Amino acid sequence: METTKIVISQDELRQEIVAYLREHRQNFTFNWDKIAMRVGNFNQPLVVKQYDKNFTEDIYEWLKSKSKLTHVSVTLNAGDERYRGAWDAFQVIQIKLMIFEEINRLMRLGILEELWLDADMSNYSVYVKPGKQHIILTQEGEKFLDSVNSLPFEAQQYLNWLRQTAEPDDELQAYLSEGLACLQSNLPRAAAVLLRVSLEHILSLLNEVIVNKLPDNESRKAHWAKLNKHRNKIEDRAEEIFKVLTSSTLFLGNQNAHQLRSTLDTLLRPTFHAIRMLGGDAAHPKSILEFSYVKIHYDLFATVVFKTSMEIINYVNASNTSQT
């Protein structure tokens, strides 16, 4: 017997709940306008979202209205037709449980907070107590919503965006996925460190294409000798690799590669060092790293570092090995 299964990935659900909170932000903030509404009308309720079963229900209905829930055809086993109603109800319950889990995750991260709010305008008192009557966006939560605007920061969506240029290898996917998970968890320092590790990996890929293209063992030994002088300094290793790529006709030193050479000099080089310095700052506890600042560098990694590096690698691999 044919029926349907409701499907949405955890990553997609997280992204959509952020979109829901942004769209309904006024229902999750506590400000002067809501206090002023009580002046002269003490029975006016506080316009803050009630934390009850309707919250999960509201998000579920919002997902339906935005066509964010996919219905996939499935076949029930013979004899299960009598349970179709239970099956259909179970599908809805599963999605609502996923929503509930995500709400609690946002609370653990300090993006949402549950509490009890009330106000007595006869003496201009507002009461804030522990409890589960209301749910609000914290100050960090509002910053979070303001920051998540450009490229996707859910791992699979981010990686799919990279795939428009090339398929990231497993090692790079692992670094970026974990870094983006840190960003989702509002841990920008850890995310910055993992982005720098991703940068190191890209540098190793650029170096690999150089080593593979060099004509003999002597030239490879000479190249490695130069890099080994800068073993502990990524900035010097990067400059050595950029120099080889732009100066030798084996790589980007010929007229045909003028555009790529220009992109390396004007975009890849400064962006590479900006991300490198971000990772360096992250290693110093006294440095303050804002979520939005780290997120911008993830965007730059995708749009400049990964894109340009893959274009360089593809160009070098496709060029004639006998070119001098």
State how far the Cα of 319 lies from the Cα of 86, in Å rounded to an integer: 61
State how far the Cα of 134 lies from the Cα of 156, in Å rounded to an integer: 33
- Residue 74 main-chain phi, psi, to 5 deg: -135, 160
pLDDT of residue 207: 94
Residues in the chain predicted with pLDDT less than 70, given as ranges, are 1-2, 30-53, 76-82, 109, 117-133, 147-153, 320-324
Domain boundaries, the chain: 2-144, 150-318
Considering only CA atoms, give the Rg of the chain: 27
pLDDT of residue 80: 62
pLDDT of residue 288: 78
70: its two tokens: 């996919």
pLDDT of residue 145: 76
pLDDT of residue 324: 45
Give me the amino acid identity at 9. S
